Amino acid sequence: MIGITTTIPVEIVFAAGQKPIDLNNLFITSSSPADLINQAELSGFAPSICSWIKGIYSTVINHDIKKVIAVTGGDCSNTIAMSELLENKGVEIIPFQYPFERKRESLLFQMDKLRERLNTTWMAIEETKNRLARIRKKLRKIDELTYRENIVTGLENHLFMVSSSDFNGDPEAFDHNLDQFLIEISQRTPFKENVRLGYLGVPPIFNQFYEFIESKGSRIVFNEVQRQFSLPFDHHDIIDLYLAYTYPYGIHGRIQDIKKAVRERELDGLIHYTQTFCFRQLYDILLKEKLGIPILTLEGDRPGCIDGRTGLRIETFIEMLSS
Ligand code: SF4
């Protein structure tokens, strides 16, 4: 089992015969994510460090994960120091960097370094890519069923997309779940909400977030970053596939992707989720300036249900959009 700190070219890990586990998902789906944060704070992490970093750290320790692929470029600068702490505890750290410049040769270089470190071949990676491409195609189908046929909830969409960073460590079982889900929803009556929303930013740390929005007569039909984790692109070449992935590069690629979704999915408004103490909060300025659609910015810190104030702000935003 190899922990991963965010989406990486998992094809390389599977091709090497290893099982990738997205540490974010393992943390947030644990029986008590809040305890994992407390545990990290007791180990010396300051309250002003992002909860995801603290949660990931404790998750690695508690699960006794021996190897972690740490994304040291294109994700979060906190990952670098956290990895050094883990290394100090005996965890093998394998760094992976998305290049600052979105250039083919730079990404190829980084992916080849990972391939070499995991001791696999490009031929095995290509085979794995083709195998995963079939699953990625089904994820696109689920996304289309969310905004075209309107038979998938925002939460269901979120869960499938966010899990595609590691396919829950078992692509075959993941594929089977997808097939089951597609059968289950085939007879559903389409949802008819008053307000169609898009969700921007890192996945929410809140519980009951999607359910709350749906209880107010709205539905999230676009999960921006989670959808990017599923690599919803047509490219046959694996380097092109990971070059098209917007999240690790500058904001402009994300803005183009969001604009397209706003048009295609007929969105009435957007919710931009920001994590307390995260540098990505700064992007809120550009998103509001460039997107030309109502945006509600929310901030979350610790896991748990959405607080009353956040709930009221969401409700007011939905009311405003529906009037
Ligand atoms: S939410 Fe921001 S600060 Fe926290 S781990 Fe993600 S990128 Fe880093």
Q: What is the CATH number of the domain that holds 146?
A: 3.40.50.11900
Mean pLDDT of 281-292: 97
Q: Could you give phi then psi for residue 153, rounded to 5 degrees?
A: -80, 165
Q: Number of folded domains in the chain?
A: 2
pLDDT of 11 > 90? The answer is yes
Which neighbouring-strand residues pair with 299? 274
> Rg of the Cα trace of the chain?
19
Per-residue pLDDT tens for 121-164? 999 999 999 999 999 999 999 999 999 999 999 999 999 999 99
Give CA–CA dist 209/28, Å, rounded.
14
Give CA–CA dist 275/32, Å, rounded.
19
Q: Does one domain contain both 146 and 289?
A: yes
Taking the centre of ligand 1 as the mean of its atom positions, its distance from the CA of residue 231, in whole angstroms, is: 20
Final residue of a structural domain among 61, 87, 121: 121
Within 8 A by CB and 6+ apart from 285, the residues are none
Q: What is the mean pLDDT of the chain?
A: 97
Residue 69 belongs to what H/E stretch? strand 67-73
Percent of the chain with pLDDT over 90: 98
Mean pLDDT of 234-239: 93
Q: Is the CB of 235 under 6 A from ligand 1?
A: no
Q: Does one domain contain both 108 and 139?
A: no
Considering only CA atoms, which residue is closest to atom 2 of ligand 1? 278
Give CA–CA dist 199/154, Å, rounded.
9
Amino acid at position 188, single letter: R
How far, rounded to the nearest angstrom, does the alpha carbon of residue 23 sit from its chain's CA centroid? 11
Q: Is the CB of 202 under 6 A from ligand 1?
A: yes
pLDDT of 113 > 90? The answer is yes
Q: Is the CB of 278 under 6 A from ligand 1?
A: yes
Taking the centre of ligand 1 as the mean of its atom positions, its distance from the CA of residue 200, in whole angstroms, is: 14
Please name which of 282, 268, 182, 164 lies closest in space to residue 221, comparing C-alpha atoms.
268
Residue 69 pLDDT level (bands cut at 50, 70, 90) = very high
Give CA–CA dist 222/236, Å, rounded.
24
Question: Which structural domain, as residue segments, surrounds residue 228?
Answer: 123-322
Tell me the DSSP string of 219-285.
EEEEEHHHHHHT-----SSHHHHHHH--TTS-HHHHHHHHHHHHHHTT-SEEEEEEETT-GGGGHHH
User: How much is the pTM?
Assistant: 0.96
Give the pLDDT of residue 307: 94
Final residue of a structural domain among 121, 139, 154: 121
Q: Is the CB of 52 under 6 A from ligand 1?
A: yes
Taking the centre of ligand 1 as the mean of its atom positions, its distance from the CA of residue 323, in whole angstroms, is: 35
Give CA–CA dist 40/26, Å, rounded.
15
Final residue of a structural domain among 121, 142, 157: 121
Give the pLDDT of residue 140: 98
Mean pLDDT of 6-28: 98
Q: Does one domain contain both 16 and 103?
A: yes
3-class SS of residue 118: helix
Which neighbouring-strand residues pair with 67? 92
Please report the atom of ligand 1 found closest to the CA of residue 280. Answer: 2
Residue 323 pLDDT level (bands cut at 50, 70, 90) = confident
Percent of the chain with pLDDT over 70: 100
Give the pLDDT of residue 175: 98
